[in-house]
Amino acid sequence: MPLRALPSSPLVQVIDEELVWIMLDRLGIKHPEAAGIRKCPSCSADMKGGRHALRCKTGGGPIAHHNLMRDTLAAVHSDAGVVVGSETRHLLPGSGEKPADVHAHGIGNQGRDIAIDVAIVDSQTGGTDAELQRRALATGIAARRKEAEKRNNRREAGAPTMEERLLQRGMDCTPIIFEVDGATTGTWARYLKKLSEIAHTRRGHNEQRFMAYWRTRIAMALAKRGAQVAIRRSHAIQCCYTSPNAGWNFSGDDDGPMGAFGVEPRIEMAADSTAHIVFDNMMDMTCM
Ligand SMILES: [Zn+2]
């Protein structure tokens, strides 16, 4: 998608660094920032050639990713002339749960509200070996599995599902799940079609153009924010490994296409303490 989208607005543009990250990932080439690093220093997960940085929970990357998708979905509704609330509390009184990332008013069955639950999953992690093999051949499997999980989520065995509980409160429930590479489920395709019809009725939008525009915007938001999150996390991980206390792992041919030498640790985007130490030392030297 980043290659097909016209860079006609800042929302659908990627900077060079992001494009390089996306291309390497798509082509299955190891990310040079993660060269020589096998395990994530914070969560010990396999770095998977650097791809782990996309979904590593340390540093809050997945939340930034999720929140941007939530805001983008809210924007689709507004563009269609649908009133929305974000992360509305008290939809399920007494539970403290927030089942709706986006709460769309009055467009469900029989005019009910819709609680939209957004999630982003990585098709290359989780699941058994057999399932990972199936996912390599077909897209959307991880997304469909997550959607079923969300709909059937019960607080305890025998309790009603999330879908049933929301319906009891007069709300429809629509989990919208994207895989980090952009695949999604049929639910989103049908939902976008429905929004395009509402957009036509309420705001006079051309339905086909509305769908094409938002498909591009959403794919670009996923690709761009994913790359931003991954690059930021990669730099932080790299700083951990280049600190005086951590040795490089030169074993095997894991150093990536550019090798491990001559790669400067980046300091301006990293949020871990190592970066500050390096930075402070540099400042001391320049001040002398
Ligand atoms: Zn990690």
pLDDT in tens, 179-188: 888 888 889 9
Q: How far is the CA of 229 from the centre of ligand 1 (A)?
A: 12
Cα(15) to ligand 1 centroid in Å equals 25
179 Cα to the center of ligand 1, angstroms: 18
**Sign of the dihedral defined by the CA atoms of residues 119, 124, 127, 132, in that order:** positive
| Position 243 confidence tier, pLDDT thresholds 50, 70, 90 | low
pLDDT in tens, 55-114: 888 888 888 889 999 999 999 999 999 999 876 666 777 777 777 899 999 999 999 999
Does this model's pTM top 0.85? My answer is: no
Per-residue pLDDT, averaged over 136-141, amounts to 78
Strand 113-121 vs strand 102-104: parallel, antiparallel, or unpaired? antiparallel
Distance 217 CA to ligand 1 centre (A): 28
86: CA distance to ligand 1 center in Å?
A: 29
Beta strands in the chain (DSSP E): 84-86, 102-104, 113-121, 171-179
The tens digit of pLDDT for each residue in 18-59 reads 999 998 888 888 888 888 888 888 888 888 888 899 888 888
Structure tokens that stand for 130 in this block:
């057999």
Least confident of 7-11, 103-107, 140-144: 7-11
CA angle 274, 276, 280 (to 5 degrees): 125
Average pLDDT, the chain: 80
CA distance 243 to 233: 16
Q: Supply the pLDDT for residue 90.
A: 66
Which neighbouring-strand residues pair with 85? 103
CA of 55 to the centre of ligand 1 (A): 8
Tell me the residue type at 18.
E
